[in-house]
Amino acid sequence: MAENGTFEIIDRDGLARIGRFQTPHGVIETPGVMPVVNPNIIVLTPTEMKKLGMQSLITNSYIIRRSRDLSDRAVNEGVHSLVGFDGPIMTDSGTFQSFVYGDIEYGNADMLAFQKSIGSDICTILDIFSTPDDGYDKARAAVEETFQRTRNLPDDGTIYAGTVQGSIYPDLRRRSAMLMSRSGVKYLPIGGVVPMLESYSYSDLVTAIHAAKMKTDFSIPVHLFGGGHPMFLALSVLAGVDMFDSASYIKYARDDRILMPDRTLDLSDLEQMPGWSPIADRYTIAELKDLEREERTKALATHNLFAIFSEISEIKQRIAEQSLRRYVKAKIRSHPYLVDAYRRFLAFRDMEKYEPFSRKTPFYYSDIEERKDPIYRRLRKFCIEEIARSNDTIAIVDQHLVSPVLSMESRLVRSYEESSAIFVKNWNGIPVPIELWDTYPVQQSISSYSSDRGSLHTSLRRLFPKRLVTIIGDHAGAGLPAGRRRFDLEKVRMIARYQFSTGNSGMIFPDDCIVRTSRKTDRIRTVSRGGELIATLRASDGLLTFTLSGAKLLYNAMPGMKSRVKVSDESSAFNLQGKNVFFKFILLSDPEIIPGNDVLVINTSDNLIAVGKATASGREMRQLKRGVAVDVRSGLGQISG
């Protein structure tokens, strides 16, 4: 069994991740929601909530402690017995009560000791709550004091939760997250957000999440306190939140309000109970309204909690198929402030290194906002730089000449090989060189409309005013500067430059390489040299996968730590034999490694020992402690000489 407090990523979509967090009472799978349970008033029992999808819950240790009866029972029998649940339980410390009612009668050390004494799986420090109205100095003082309360946490195996505060100030959120990540805590809630949620300040909330996430240790789950409404869950997960808690399911039920995937409704406005609701086959709307208050509250709470867990299930599915961004874009249309929040999120430019080069699903281009997708930005930046590094004529290919499959024998390819010009086509505003037309997302996309050809011509003339920009149509190649080159070889070289940000693609694929195509599709499939297979071009996304022979060429072409993962001597012997690399054995990694891309595994002497696919970014490789970091494809077996 994994050590308590360890987190392992099972699947991912950018910063969104399906993971497993180990606790003394079992594994919490993320993303997930912990229902808030008040031990004084249990409307839905944990047994009933488990049937709806609950796997962990949160209760308040301050409420328990200030009641003599509850406190005695919790100390003598344990908090799990008190609430009737044998799974993971997180306890809050009374911070919110301190904010609402003033200072509470217990200090941080007292509350932590009490939480441990009742057997809490995740014990929360008594942090200092900050509101959006707090001035900068007050919020900064709260951050510093909250951190001070983690300074003397004992290393006794307890999972401590250290809350990230900082109000609406991104720099304070970043500092708080950095300080907490360096302390002894193994769980990171983001606090002080309920006022933002209540005022629909979603943009401020997304900013706070992003600021905190980018400075956390990625091996620690991030929890958003109070953020359990279905309409905001997906965007939060996309921004990197792993866990939530929710009291809304019961609070809204008491007010005769029901949660829907995209809104909240008053029972008086409900004309039809959704068919997916667990109470749909038990009550008509009239019967529901006629129930006694207590019974109606329980029925509505059942519906509300199921709505929350159903949303989490959908989010997990979207992560697994790597379509969460598309789902979020549909969700945000339910409220204008969510649209604002999503646009704020799109403005963050530091997301690229956590996004793969391709996704499992097609790239949907529906409007100009897609241009802020990390994959779009990465492609555009590369294409512009690729065009800029040459002084050759830019030839825009008429769209009607572009077929779904670019045949190696087509007239367009022959024109390319007889010219030195840069052949580009317009893909949603990007001048994509002909060599990348089969590469994700260009070929693997669905667009709602075609960008105007003339606008691309204008933009290229603006970007490169001294370069001749021409449009080639039926007479492809006429009037272009003469040249001689191999399309198949230039294609794999450009893809290598795109994937590995290297200018030495000629060293990876020398002139004597043999490129083979598929008889059925005429697409490039393999690249060989000297009778040895170097690389294959994946049919799914048009990207390169290297063999061990190719990895040696890649190793020699790229200096330093580029695309490299250095492992300990203990791991090297196994990796040489083709065994996977685990996070805990990584000593160093290139911070620019992108999830899903090929990486070179090296030993402490910097010798190449294996090649494989990265499961995480370079930063995550240095922080995650459990699971497979590199899915090794092939090992050298032994190092010669």
**Which of 322-336, 509-523, 590-604 has the least mean pLDDT?**
509-523
pLDDT above 70 (res 476): no
Among 318, 346, 374, the domain-final residue is 346
Residue 453 has pLDDT above 50, yes or no: no
Phi, psi of 528 (to 5 degrees): -125, 160
Question: What does the block give as tokens for 612?
Answer: 């494989």
- Preceding peptide of 465 cis, ω within 30°: no
CATH number of the domain residue 520 falls in: 3.10.450.90
Structure token pair of residue 350? 């530091």
Whole-number Å distance between alpha carbons of 591 and 313 = 32
Q: Is residue 492 part of a domain?
A: no
For the chain, percent of residues with pLDDT exceeding 90: 81
Position 104 pLDDT exceeds 70: no
Q: Residue 400: is its pLDDT beyond 70?
A: no
Task: Give every strand in the sheet of 564-567, ordered side by side.
Answer: 581-582, 628-635, 608-614, 598-602, 564-567, 586-589
> Mean per-residue pLDDT for 181-208?
94
CA 158-102-99 angle, 5° bins:
60
Contact 30, 18 (CB under 8 A): yes
The verdict on 199 and 342 lying in the same domain is yes
Q: Is the per-residue pLDDT at 303 higher than 60?
A: yes
What stretches of 149-292 show up as alpha helix (H) in DSSP?
Answer: 170-182, 194-198, 202-213, 230-238, 248-254, 285-290
List beta partners, residue 633.
none
Whole-angstrom distance, CA of residue 496 vs CA of residue 560: 18
- Which of 557, 580, 595 delimits the end of a domain? 557
Per the domain annotation, does 567 fall within a domain? yes
CA distance 396 to 402: 11
**Looking at the structure, do residues 453 and 515 belong to the same domain, yes or no?**
no
Mean pLDDT of 31-44: 94
What's the CA gap between 146 and 128, in Å, rounded?
6
> Quick check: is 495 in a domain?
no
For 280-336, the DSSP string reads TTT--HHHHHHS-HHHHHHHHHHHHHHHHHHHHHHHHHHHHTT-HHHHHHHHGGG-H
What's the whole-number average pLDDT of the chain? Answer: 92
User: Which pLDDT score, from 0 to 100, does residue 139 have?
Assistant: 96
Kindly provide the residue ranges of all beta strands, DSSP E only, lying in 458-617, ordered along the sequence: 469-472, 514-517, 524-529, 532-537, 544-546, 564-567, 581-582, 586-589, 598-602, 608-614
Tell whether 155 and 257 lie within a shared domain.
yes
Per the DSSP assignment, residues forming a β-bridge with 492 are: none
Comparing CA positions, the residue from 216, 213, 215, 220 lying closest to residue 240 is 213
State yes or no: pLDDT of 99 exceeds 60.
Answer: no
Containing structural domain, residue 420: 363-485
Q: Is there a single domain that holds both residue 425 and residue 571?
A: no
pLDDT at 641: 45
- CA–CA gap between residue 444 and residue 69 (Å, rounded): 63
Percent over 70 (pLDDT), the chain: 94
Structural domain includes residue 43: yes
Of residues 636, 635, 564, 570, the one with CA closest to residue 598: 564
Residue 414 φ then ψ, to 5°: -60, -40
Clarify whether residues 320 and 381 are in a common domain.
Answer: no
Residue from 11, 86, 92, 340 carrying the catalytic annotation:
92
d(CA 143, CA 127): 9
CA–CA separation, 511 and 488 (whole Å): 11
Asked which of 485, 514, 548 is the last residue of a domain, the reply is 485
Q: Residue holding tokens 């967090």?
A: 21
pLDDT at 188 over 90: yes
Residue 496 lies in a domain: no
**Phi and psi of 93, rounded to 5°?**
-105, -10
490 belongs to a structural domain: no
* CA 229 – CA 236 distance, rounded (Å): 11
**Same domain for 375 and 514?**
no
C-alpha to C-alpha distances, 34 to 28, 90, 93, 502, nearest whole angstrom: 10, 8, 16, 46
Please count the structural domains in the chain. Answer: 4
Look at residue 401 in the predicted model and tell me its pLDDT: 60
Poorest-pLDDT segment among 83-97, 239-253, 553-567:
83-97
Q: Strand 16-23 vs strand 26-30: parallel, antiparallel, or unpaired? A: antiparallel
Q: What is the pLDDT of residue 403?
A: 62
Q: What is the pTM of this model?
A: 0.94
CB 495 within 8 A of CB 546: no
pLDDT tens, position by position, 490-524: 999 999 999 999 999 999 999 999 999 988 888 89
Residue 86 pLDDT greater than 60, yes or no: yes
HEC string of 544-557? Answer: EEECHHHHHHHHHH
On the question of pLDDT at 321 being above 80, the answer is: yes
Residues 126, 172 within the same domain: yes
Q: What token pair was written down for 402? A: 């572009």
Distance of CA 198 to the CA centre of its chain: 26
CATH code, domain with 583: 2.30.130.10
Q: How confident is the model at residue 405 (pLDDT cuts 50, 70, 90)?
A: low
Report d(CA 618, CA 587) in Å as an integer: 12
Please report, as a single letter, which amino acid is at residue 435: E
What integer pLDDT is reported at residue 404 of this predicted model?
56
Least confident range from 13-17, 295-299, 458-462, 592-596: namely 458-462
Residue 356 located in a structural domain: no
- Find where tokens 């304070």 sit: 172
Chain length of the chain: 641
d(CA 261, CA 308): 8
In this structure, are 478 and 336 located in the same domain? no
For residue 97, the tally of other CB atoms under 10 A from its CB is: 17
Distance CA 127, CA 144 (A): 10
What pLDDT does 461 receive?
86
Q: Strand ranges (DSSP E) for 115-224?
A: 122-124, 159-161, 188-190, 222-224
Copy the structure tokens of residue 232. 């905001």
Q: What is the pLDDT of residue 101?
A: 52
Residues 6+ apart with CB under 8 A from 378: 352, 355, 357
Query: Are 415 and 548 in the same domain?
Result: no
Contacts of 108 (CB under 8 A, 6+ apart): 93, 125, 126, 149
Q: What is the mean pLDDT of residues 240-252?
A: 96
Shared domain check, 328 and 252? yes
In this structure, are 227 and 271 located in the same domain? yes
Distance (Å) of CA 462 to CA 434, 444, 459, 554: 21, 29, 5, 36
Residues 118, 253 within the same domain: yes
Q: What is the pLDDT of residue 470?
A: 81
State pLDDT tens for residues 111-160: 999 999 999 999 999 999 898 999 999 999 999 999 999 988 988 899 99
Is 28 within 8 Å of 21 (Cβ atoms)? yes
Nearest to 205 by CA among 231, 180, 185: 231
Give the residue-averaged pLDDT of 186-203: 94
Q: Record the tokens describing residue 246, joined without a space.
A: 């929710």
In the predicted model, is pLDDT for residue 98 greater than 80?
no
Model confidence at 466, pLDDT cuts 50, 70, 90, reads confident
Structure tokens at 258: 């029901």
pLDDT at 216: 96
C-alpha 454: how far from chain center? 36
**Average pLDDT rounded to a whole number, residues 332-353:** 94
Active site (annotated) includes residue 92: yes
Over residues 322-333, the mean pLDDT reads: 96
- 226-230, 243-247, 467-471: the lowest-pLDDT one: 467-471
Give pairs for 260-266: CB < 8 Å, separation 24+.
260/230, 260/307, 261/230, 261/231, 261/307, 261/310, 261/311, 261/331, 262/230, 262/231, 262/331, 262/334, 262/335, 263/231, 263/334, 263/335, 264/229
SS3 344: helix
Give me the CATH number covering residue 38. 3.20.20.105
Q: Does residue 141 sit within a domain? A: yes
